[in-house]
Amino acid sequence: MNLFFQQIINGLTLGSIYGLVALGLTLVYGILHIPNFAHGALYMVGAFMSYFFMVDLGVHYWLAMAGSAAVVAILGVLCERLVFHPLRHSPPIHDKIAAIGILLFLEALVQMFWGSDFRRMSSPFTGIMNFDGLIIPEQRLLIIAGAFTLVFALQMFLRKTMTGATIIAMAQSREGAFLVGIDANRVAMMTFAISGALAAIAATLYAPINLVYPAMGHLVIMKAFVIIILGGMGSIPGAIAGGMIIGFAEAFGGFYISTAYKDIIAFGLLVLILSVRPQGLFAKGAH
Amino acid sequence: MLKVEHLTKMFGGLAAVNDVSVVFEAGKINAIIGPNGAGKSTFFNLISGMHQPTSGRILLDGVDVTRLRCDKVAQLGVGRTFQTTNLFEQATVLDNLIVGHRLRTKSGLWDVLVNSKRLQAEEKASRDKAREALDFVGLSHVENQYIADITQEQRKRVAFALALATDPKIVLLDEPAAGVNPEETEGFAALMKKMVANGLTVCLIEHKMDMIMSLADKIMVLDHGEKIAEGTPEQVRSNPLVIEAYLGSDEDVAA
Amino acid sequence: MLFKIGSLLMTPAARYGLLALAILFPFLASNEYQVYVMASAFVWAIAVYGLNIITGFCGQLNLAHGGFFAIGAYTLGLLTADHGWSFWPAFLAALLMTAALGFLVGVVSLRLKEHYFAIFTLCVGFIIYLLIDKWEELTHGPIGVRDIAAPYGFGLVDFTETTPFYYLVLAFLVLAIWFMGRLSRSLLGRTFIAIRNGDELAESLGINLMRNKVLAFVLSTTYAGLAGALYAGMVRFIGPEEANITHTFDMITYLLVGGIGTITGPLLGTVGIVWITQSLQFLEEYRMIIFGPLLVVLVIFFPRGITGQFLSWMHHKAQAMQPRHKARASKVTAPQEARNNA
């Protein structure tokens, strides 16, 4: 029975990370209709930034996380300004290719500075909590709590602040938002910044129980895409629910079926679902 | 020609088109007008097979086309234009039009591999058809120019020619005169008259009332997905329901 | 002057000239390694032509292309190394395998539009990689496949030698380009381009979207399979890395630089970049620091690559030189390839 609860904790941990990454992806998609293939690279840069701040500059974990979030947020804004903004009237295939260009660039850049080795990043939360035989490492608890806090904060921001309201308005109708005088550029930059910060925080939370390396974003971004397709592209609750579905499917699938194939589960699920429902699980009507 | 019976389309609980019945006669110019969001474009999408209706029937020359896919409907002779048409910008006008006749040809992969007689004949037929359509819309002189280099008005004419190259019996034109100046609008009106004179049936959505009133043989007015009036321009103009629908939506029927 | 050189390049004579150059290349090369590099560039070029069919002509960004390349390579590799098949039957099987799998994937994935299709194929590509990496009973996993058969020359030539193999690859490349050229000029190619312009418009012209998209997809995966099989016969040792997504990204770069949706573009882009990467050895590992931003700059400023830019320029030259009222009769002025492309 304990093993079963252990898997629940694992599922929650994975689901939290996936959810955070997918959240950024779905926000950008909702507002700009760009499937940002570079989002995984932003996640990866986030992990390396925290690593750099902590190991090379000796900064505390929390500070490193904040610094990394800031750097990646700026990076996200730069991508929007320099790449996606000039491409806003181009055929849809162009911004996908441009996003791939950004991804390749960032990966090569990180690889040039840090090499392609696998690195470990420590965090101050190395303890283990034992609830009557149910073992939960502190870092995992931190991930789950952190993710829930962030999602809550984001909801507050989107619902209660003026800026948040403009983001929602623009996600619902780009032209409509333009008509009522919303500064589309500002919203786009803001969205990219939030999306980048979320990716960096997710990476910093997850890195201590995982490894840091230039290709670490590949799997995560692909799973994040699976998640937002499951949850409906552009939908915030969909991203969180989808993240949990994939997190749990992997935790339980990896444990009860096969560890070697656990990464395939998400993609198998996607193929299955899109074969039956091309518009995704929760999306209403045609996309 | 085109007979629509009790056509309804629901989008998640909302009726975009609600129980519309209408007959469009052959060789006439039929117009559909109505305020924004009245369901005009949806109505076109239903006829052309792009959307499947929730209920009702569509008959083309007595043939039930209600459940047919878009490409099948086109093969049966329904051509259409869109408000905006994406074309291959870095190719010539003629090159863009040749594919218009594709639906009347049969060549497949094998014909391409062996460069069969059939393929050659069909390619020539398609090219001739494209030239004929280009001539019809009066653009023969720009045949070799890139799409990127022609004017907005010429683009619209190319879109017409593309629809004509499919050998349609009826053409559905979605706001053919949107975004063109009054002089050019007259040119498009003349073009539609020419289509009808050549045996085509024209069906258009339009906002430019003066154009519609002088051009259409028959007008159907949609509001909130429902048909509120139908008849000659005179009948529609004096219909109180129509006046109210337009007054209620900031648009002027006489404008 | 430049214009004259330009129009010369587009004449059939120039094409035969290029072909002659390719045939003479092994004699012009200063060592065998250069011939080998050129042969591998040609192999990739064949795969890039495949990508050009589905992405360049049909407008669907297929991110599983590298996966199908790997399937071609593994089909040939496993059949010859593990199951005792000889090269040519296994080669044929590789083509059939990629075509059949392309059909299956195409039927499912092409119901999805634009972004969904790109994301779906990204995942398919990754599934292919994971299967090759994890399904050790079939693929040997990370160890890879050794002792792959080289093509046998029926006692006439020895394809384990670099130069004969170069000619074999060249022959397939010429075949691939020849078919591509014919396809692009045909009604079928025009149908693909109409789909690229937009699903709705294409459908309203009576084009069956699914049938044509699946056909384009199967053609493209077969090209990838052909290239993959040749690759396996050339290097004789393959591993899961052949299915790595970076190969797909490389091919997209070749296609974009050379000119997406053109006939000469894939060849120019592939051969050009492969040689640039080769001659600047330090680039090998970090080439994406340059190619990444290059992709971005290309899609923003020159979305049709070298060839497309050149063709537009040629066309405008030709138009400018032609008095306006004569334009209708100006069949000869449109450069050969501009018409072929449409």
- Judge whether A223 lies within some domain: no
Residue C153 pLDDT grade (very low, low, confident, very high; cuts 50, 70, 90): confident
- Greater confidence (A182 vs C23) lies with C23
- Confidence at residue A286, expressed as pLDDT on a 0 to 100 scale: 37
Question: Nearest residue of A to residue B12 by CA position?
Answer: A285
Residue B91 has its nearest CB partner, among C183, C187, C341, at C341
Report which of residues C113 and C166 the model is more confident about: C166
Contact A95 C299 (CB under 8 A): yes
Domain ranges of chain B: 1-77+170-176+202-255, 85-167
The answer to whether C185 contacts chain A (CB < 8 Å) is no
Contact across the interface for C200 and B91, Cβ inside 8 Å: no
- Whether residue C18 is contained in a domain is answered as no
Examine residue A190 and state whether it is found in any structural domain, yes or no: yes
Q: Which of A92, A101, A270 sits opposite C293 (nearest CB)?
A: A101
Q: Does residue A281 lie in a domain region?
A: no
Q: Decide if A85 touches C, using CB distance below 8 A.
A: no
* Separation of alpha carbons A124 and B59, rounded Å: 73
Taking residue C133's Cβ as centre, other Cβ atoms within 10 Å add up to 18
What pLDDT is recorded for position A137?
Answer: 85
| C108 and chain A in contact, CB less than 8 A | yes
In chain C, residues with a C-beta closer than 8 Å to the C-beta of A259 are none
The domain tally of chain C equals 1
Of the listed ranges A90-104, C2-16, C53-67, C217-231, the least confidently predicted one is C2-16
Would you say residue C177 lies in a domain?
yes
**C311 or C219, which is more confident?**
C219
Looking at the complex, report in whole angstroms how far the Cα of residue A286 sits from the nearest Cα belonging to chain B.
Answer: 10
- Percent helix, strand and coil across chain B, each to the nearest 5: 40, 25, 35
Neighbours of chain C (3+ CB pairs under 8 A): A, B
Please give the structure tokens belonging to residue B39. 């369901």
B11 touches chain A (CB under 8 A): yes
Number of domains present in the structure of chain A: 1
For A105, which of C61, C120, C288 is closest by C-beta distance? Answer: C288
Q: Is A285 on the interface with B (CB under 8 A)?
A: yes
Is C204 in Cβ contact with B91 (below 8 Å)? no
| Cβ neighbour number for residue B14 with a 10 Å cutoff | 10
Mean pLDDT of A193-205: 95
Q: How confident is the model at residue A76 (pLDDT cuts 50, 70, 90)?
A: very high
Nearest residue on chain C to B83, alpha-carbon basis: C201
| Any domain includes C133 | yes
Mean pLDDT in residue range C92-101? 97
Question: How much is the pLDDT for C336?
Answer: 41
Region A191-216 average pLDDT: 93
C247: CATH: 1.10.3470
pLDDT confidence of residue C323: 56
Please, are residues C214 and C106 in contact by the beta-carbon 8 Å criterion? Answer: yes
Subunit contact A92:C123, Cβ cutoff 8 A = no
Q: Which residues of chain C make contact with A260, given a CB cutoff of 8 A?
A: 134
What tokens were used for C32? Answer: 């065998």
Q: Which domain holds residue A205?
A: 21-217
3-state secondary structure of B144: coil
- Phi/psi at C55 (nearest 5 deg)? -95, -45
| pLDDT (tens digit per residue) in C192-243 | 999 999 999 999 999 999 999 999 999 999 999 999 999 999 999 999 999 9
- CA distances to A40, B195, C36 from C160, rounded to whole Å, are 42, 67, 12
A205 to chain C nearest CA, in Å? 25
Closest CA to A285 of C129, C74, C236, B51: B51
> C19 in a domain, yes or no?
no
CB-nearest partner of B82 from C191, C201, C330: C201
Phi/psi-derived region of residue B192, left when phi > 0, alpha when psi is between -120 and 50, beta in every other case: alpha
Question: What pLDDT, on a 0 to 100 scale, did the predictor assign at position C24?
Answer: 92
- pLDDT of B200 reads 93
Identify the segments of chain B with pLDDT beneath 50. 250-255
pLDDT of residue C310: 83
Task: For chain C, say whether A107 makes contact (Cβ under 8 Å).
Answer: yes
pLDDT of the residue at B127: 95
Put simply, the chain C residues between 239 and 258 with a CB less than 8 A from any chain A CB are: 245, 249, 252, 256
Q: List alpha helices for chain C, DSSP H.
A: 2-9, 12-28, 32-51, 65-81, 87-109, 114-134, 136-139, 162-185, 187-197, 199-204, 209-235, 245-258, 265-279, 283-301, 305-321, 336-341
Question: Looking at domain B1-77+170-176+202-255, which CATH architecture does it have?
Answer: 3-Layer(aba) Sandwich (3.40)
Among C112, C123, C124, C301, the strongest candidate for a mutation testing the A interface, having the largest count of A CBs within 10 A, is C123
C332 pLDDT band, cuts 50/70/90, is very low
Q: Residue C100 belongs to what domain range?
A: 33-307
Q: What integer best gives the mean pLDDT of chain A? A: 87
Q: What percent of chain A has pLDDT over 90?
A: 44
Which residues of chain C approach chain B closer than 8 Å at the C-beta? 179, 182-183, 186-191, 193-194, 196-198, 200-201, 203-209, 215, 219, 304, 308, 311-312, 315-316, 319, 324-325, 327-328, 330-331, 333-334, 338-339, 341-342
pLDDT at C152: 84
Q: Quick check: C113 and A287 CB within 8 A?
A: yes
Is 0.95 topped by the overall pTM? no
Virtual torsion, Cα A87, A93, A96, A98, nearest 10 deg: -50
- B124, B66, B71: which is closest to B98 by C-alpha? B124
Of residues A233 and C324, more confidently modeled: A233
What is the mean pLDDT of the segment spanning A143-160?
90
CB contact (8 A) between residue C245 and residue A218: yes
Name the percent of chain C lying above pLDDT 70.
Answer: 90
ipTM of predicted complex: 0.90
* Three-state SS sequence of chain A: CHHHHHHHHHHHHHHHHHHHHHHHHHHHHHHHCCCCCCHHHHHHHHHHHHHHHHHHCCCCHHHHHHHHHHHHHHHHHHHHHHHHCCCCCCCHHHHHHHHHHHHHHHHHHHHHHHCCCCECCCCCCCCEEEECCEEEEHHHHHHHHHHHHHHHHHHHHHHHCHHHHHHHHHHHCHHHHHHCCCCHHHHHHHHHHHHHHHHHHHHHHHHHHCCECHHHHHHHHHHHHHHHHHHCCCCHHHHHHHHHHHHHHHHHHHHHCCCCCHHHHHHHHHHHHHHHCCCCCCCCCCC
> pLDDT-based confidence at A219, cuts 50/70/90?
confident
Q: Which residues does chain C have within 8 Å of residue A218's beta carbon, measured at their own beta carbons?
A: 126, 245
CB pairs under 8 A between A and C: 121
Instruction: Flag whether pLDDT at C325 surpasses 70.
Output: no
* B162: number of Cβ within 10 Å: 28
Helix H or strand E encompassing B126:
helix B117-136
| Nearest CB partner across the interface for B109, out of C188, C333, C342 | C188
